[in-house]
Amino acid sequence: MDWLIFAALAVALIALAAVAQRKGWIDLSDKNKSSGGGASPMVIGDEVFNPSRYEAAIELDRQTVLPAPAPVPGDGDKGVYQGNVRIELPRDS
């Protein structure tokens, strides 16, 4: 009967993790999609034994995603400060 308690506890933890993932409290998605399956033990090793390299790799990934380009001088405000925002999409010919 003791194993039933442990099984129920395991099911409850898995359900809690699923709810936390869906709500956005935790992130269990694979951030290392570019590497093959054999590289994941190396990433774990870097995270544990060389955390500065692991954090540098995360920061490099963060910096490769670029935000929208900043406005350049001479563009003007284009009516944004009056509440007018116009998004122009390229037309299909």
3-state helix, strand, coil in the chain (%, to 5): 55, 0, 45
pLDDT value of position 86: 74
Rounded CA-CA distance 55/49 in Å is: 12
Identify whether 37 is part of a domain. yes
- 85 within domain boundaries: no
**Residue 10: pLDDT above 90?**
yes
The number of distinct structural domains making up the chain is 2
Quote the Cα angle for 16-39-11, to 5°. 15
Whole-model pTM: value is 0.35
Same domain, 20 and 46: no
Domain of 37 in residue numbering reads as: 31-66
Cα angle 40, 26, 24; round to 5? 130
Residue 35 lies in a domain: yes
Residue 38: inside a domain: yes
pLDDT for 16-50, tens place per residue?
Answer: 988 988 888 877 776 655 555 555 666 666 667 77
CA distance 26 to 18: 9
